Structure formats: structure tokens, C-alpha cells
Structure 1
Amino acid sequence: MIFIGTLNEQKGIQYLVKIISKIIDAYPTIEIIIVGVGPYQILVNNLIKEYPENIQYFEQLPHSEVAKTLARTWVALSTSITLKNSSEQTAGFLLEAMACGNGIVAFNSGGISRFVEDGINGLLSDEKNIDKYVNNISLLLKDKNGLHKMQKNNRQKAVQFYDAKSNVKKLEQLLVKKLST
């Protein structure tokens, strides 16, 4: 599993830490990668001290390493929450994870539900619902066929809707059609 993002309140790090703790307690051999820095760094540092065998931490990864790292993981985690004046519009990390064929487990926050369909290419829970989120991860750990289906759906969706070449081709077709009328 992997999380990439700023370690701050909007990214829900305070919830991510609790979720990871519960998952490691339930699945002691699981490995989790966390990439990011930010004001909630101390929470992640404390988690790493508690579970040093389970967590790999990087302040940042070169962009060339992000895809390689995502290819080694099976599920991308997003715990973004809505704050008073802002919400997650599009988690770029999740789009990259989809392109690499990761399943998604996320809070249903902001615009995430525009590209993560619950039960199709990921599992969503209400914001801050830690127990449901942990249950969603457990479901994927227990149902490898369901996970593989979500991974396949994500790869297809990423190519169909978010691939630059595909989008340029669609735009060209629309322009040709518009110019010929």
C-alpha cells in the first residue's frame, strides 16, 4: 500500500496514522510506503517508530521513481478531508496510481468520486470513518479477485480518460468535426 502527499490536515494525516496502525495490528506482515513532508510529520515519525518493520518512508521521490514505486504496490490510499474553505479537487497521486494499476481506498472527499467509483475501481468511505476505511482495506486483502478487477478497471480508466495521447486524439477529432461544419 502507498500514500503520497503533503503531511497536513487536509490530506487527513491524523486519520491515515490511525488507519495504518489498525491495519498493521490486523496484518502484521503488511508493508506500507509513505511519501511526503509537512506540518503533521511528527505523527508519521511516531508511527514509523511504532512499526519500523512495516513502513518505508521517503520525504520525496524523483518523479522517475514514482511510477516504479507505484508499480510495486497494489493499493493507493487517500485520506483527504473537506476543511472549512477547501476540499480535495483531484488527487494527482491517485490518477498516477490508477495508471499504474493500483486499487484505490479513499475517503469520499471533494472531487475524488468523479474518478473513483465505489466498488468498481476503488472503495470509498465517508470522511473520517476510520472503521469503514480499515474494513475496505481488509476486504481487498481478503478478496484478491476483486482487487485484481479494480486494478484492471483503473488501468483501463486511466488510459481511456486521462492518457494525454488519447485526449489529444479526441480533441483533434472534435476540432476537425467542428471545423468541417
Structure 2
Amino acid sequence: MRVLIVNYEFPPVGGGAGRASWHLCRELARIGARVDVVTSHGTRNFYYHLEGARIYSLKVRRKSVHETGIRGMAEFLIRAFFLIRRLVRENKYDLIHYFFSIPTGLLSFCVGRSLPFIVSLRGGDVPGYNPGELRTMHRLLTPVNRLIWRRADAVVALSDDLGRFAKQIEPTLNYQVIYNGADTHLFQPSEIPRNTGGPVRILTVARLLELKGIQYLLEALSQLPKDQFHLSIAGTGYFETALKRKTALLNLTDSVAFLGPVAHHELPRIYCHADIFVLPSYGDSFGQVFTEAMACGLPIIAARSGGVQEFVENGINGFLVPPKDVKSIADAICRLASSRDLRNKMGQNNIQKIKSQFGWDAVARQYADVCNHILERRN
């Protein structure tokens, strides 16, 4: 099977969807697929091999390492249009897999209907799911988005929550849920015992955006004794200045550390140094950082919103709290902070859950099954 994957973000730029496409192309190649990837980078055009896959990366001006912006998306569409048409002429692909229906799925119109394609819904590409600077673009392109979903041979949603939201926009939509995996080779529990004394170490890892809900975590911590916890925040984003200002206003400066950008390969060390992972996001379709933290044996506190509800069971491997509910966040932290046994039990439950359900090899096989089903149906 020969597959072309198209995603405007790919490591080292972008977020969870970029890393997901990186893992997917690598695992598909390992099980025998021939994989090409069209993506973008911030500095130059270049081509390289990645463990059996060929990567074509186009120069696109980005707002930052993590954010493409509308102009960057437009540049990618223009440059990718010509590259994809050439690659399709030169290679006998069996199908194309577009990460994001908007903007990437727009490129499906340049190929025609002879080549089947899959669209992966990631969250920000579904109108209204996590509105931000793309709100106006979504309003204009919703009819086009619906047409892309109808034309696709398969639509894969990152969570059932996201798929159900998309179905409200396009009632005829049939979708399949395939979760992101966790890199269990990189993210593993520490062999060194966790905190045996001193403040409880709380961690959050995220792009610092308003919808990540970290402002509510700070407010919750301001209600707790400051000598009993320490919060580390890993990541950058436009909301960082506001969060630092709030930290100072709440008199939390000595109890909160902003770590800035952390390289992906450094994240396991940070996870394994923590006792609790907290991210009260109210706009994530999945949240890759949750599965990374779970793989490292951390109990989770998350908002009852988005896809995280589908793999965090309240009271079993973490706590789910109402979105933006400061008191509930504080109460959940207190429950975990007061019981090392509860933290360890939930952490072990998470390790087992990740091993049994979220390996990238299993995720790749699910996508391969979707591809094979499409090709059988076409033939």
C-alpha cells in the first residue's frame, strides 16, 4: 500500500497533530506501507527520509514554532498544490490522508475523485469546536468543509466528542474514532520513587492559550496553602504574559515556575519529576499531553470537556471537574495531594491503560484497516 500523508505541521514545528502524523508515518512504514509526507517548515524547502518514509517539507512563514496563522496556511496550500499534483503524477498512490479538513483538506479538490482520500478531524478544523482566530474563516468555509466530509472516502475523528460535534454540522457524516497513541518507548514511568516529602509537585504541559484553562488552575492554587505545592508550567503561547501577570497578582510567584519551551525528548524527565498532572482545558479534542503524562504514571485532573472524558475515568485514573470551576480543581488537588496511595493507584491504572489501548503501533494498524477497507470497497 502506498500512502501520501498531508499535514501543514510536522515536527519540529506545530503541536500534537504534527507529532501524530510523525508517529503514524513511521509506524505505517514499519508494517510495510510506502509513505510520503507533504508538510511545511518555517525556514526552507527540504526533503529527507524518516525511517522508511519520504518527507517533503515546504517553506512557510509561521507566526511561531507552534502557530502557523492564516497567512502561513494560505502559503502552504499554494505551494502544496503544485507539489501534490506532481507527486500524484509520479507515484502510484493508493490513497491520500489529509490531517485537518481545513486547511489541508482543501487540497483534495486539486487531485480529483479518482484517488480515494481520508480526512482526519483534529479539533481546530471543525467549525465552532474550539473557536479562536479561525472563527471568521470557519464561518466562510463551513459549506466547503461539509463538502470535503461528504466527498471523503472515510472521516476519522480524534474523539467521539469531536465526531458528534461535527455531525451536528453535517448530519449525513459517518465517522470513525481513532485516538492518538502515546510513545511508550519515550514516555515511561520513572524507576526512582516519586516525592516522599516536601511540597506536592504539580505539572501542566500545554501551548499557553486561554482555552487551556491554566488561569483557573492558578486561581485554584491561590486557595491552597502555598507551602504545600509547587506548580511547573511547560510551554509557550500568546497567553503566557497574562498567566505570568495573574501569577504575580495572586502572590504565587514563589510557588509557580514557567519552564518555557521544552524539547519533546526532555518531557519524560519533567513528567517523571511530578506528582500530579493538571490541565483544565475546555477546548481540546484529545490532548496528547494527557496520554504522555498517563504513560509516565501520573494521576490526571482535567475538565469534563472534549475527548479527555473518553479515557479519564473519574475516581479511577484521575478526576474530571466542571470546566472553569476553580473550587472543583482545588478540591481535586487536595484529594490527590493528601494521599500518596491514591496518587500511586491512579498512576498505575494509567500505565496499564496506555499499554493496553494507546500504543502507536496499534493506532497505525487501525488506520491501515481503514485504508484497506476503502481499497476493497473501491475494487
Q: Which of the five TM-score ranges fits, normalised by the shorter chain?
A: 0.7 to 0.9
Q: Deviations over 1:56-88 (max 9, x none)?
A: 21221011110110011111111111xxxxx31
Distance 1:104 1:145, change over 3 A: same
Alignment correspondent of 1:36: 235
Tell me how far apart the structure 2 counterparts of residues 62 and 4 of structure 1 sit (CA, whole Å): 12
Trace 1:11-160 onto structure 2 (pairs within 5 A). 11-23=212-224, 26-49=225-248, 50-81=251-282, 87-160=283-356
Q: SS state of the match for residue 134, structure 1?
A: helix
CA contact (8 A) 1:106 1:124 kept: yes
Please tell me the residue identity of whatever aligns with 2:321. S
Unmatched 5+ stretches in structure 2: 1-201, 373-379
Tell me how far apart the structure 2 counterparts of residues 19 and 52 of structure 1 sit (CA, whole Å): 14
Deviation at 1:133, TM superposition (A): 1.3
Tell me how far apart the structure 2 counterparts of residues 79 and 167 of structure 1 sit (CA, whole Å): 26
Tell me how far apart the structure 2 counterparts of residues 102 and 134 of structure 1 sit (CA, whole Å): 17
Deviation at 1:95, TM superposition (A): 0.8
Deviation at 1:41, TM superposition (A): 1.6
State the TM-score, normalized to the length of structure 1: 0.83
Q: Report how many residues are paired.
A: 169
Greater Cα radius of gyration, structure 1 or 2: 2
Tell me how far apart the structure 2 counterparts of residues 132 and 95 of structure 1 sit (CA, whole Å): 22
Higher strand share: 2
Deviation at 1:121, TM superposition (A): 0.4
Alignment correspondent of 1:178: none
Q: SS state of the match for residue 76, structure 1?
A: strand
Please tell me the residue identity of whatever aligns with 1:40. F
Q: SS state of the match for residue 233, structure 2?
A: strand
Distance 1:168 1:7, change over 3 A: closer
CA contact (8 A) 1:107 1:126 kept: yes
- By relative contact order (CA 8 Å, sep 6+), the higher-ranking structure is 1
CA contact (8 A) 2:215 2:246 kept: no
Tell me how far apart the structure 2 counterparts of residues 110 and 171 of structure 1 sit (CA, whole Å): 22
Higher helix share: 1
Q: SS state of the match for residue 294, structure 2?
A: helix
Tell me how far apart the structure 2 counterparts of residues 171 and 79 of structure 1 sit (CA, whole Å): 30
Deviation at 1:7, TM superposition (A): 1.7
Tell me how far apart the structure 2 counterparts of residues 79 and 126 of structure 1 sit (CA, whole Å): 9
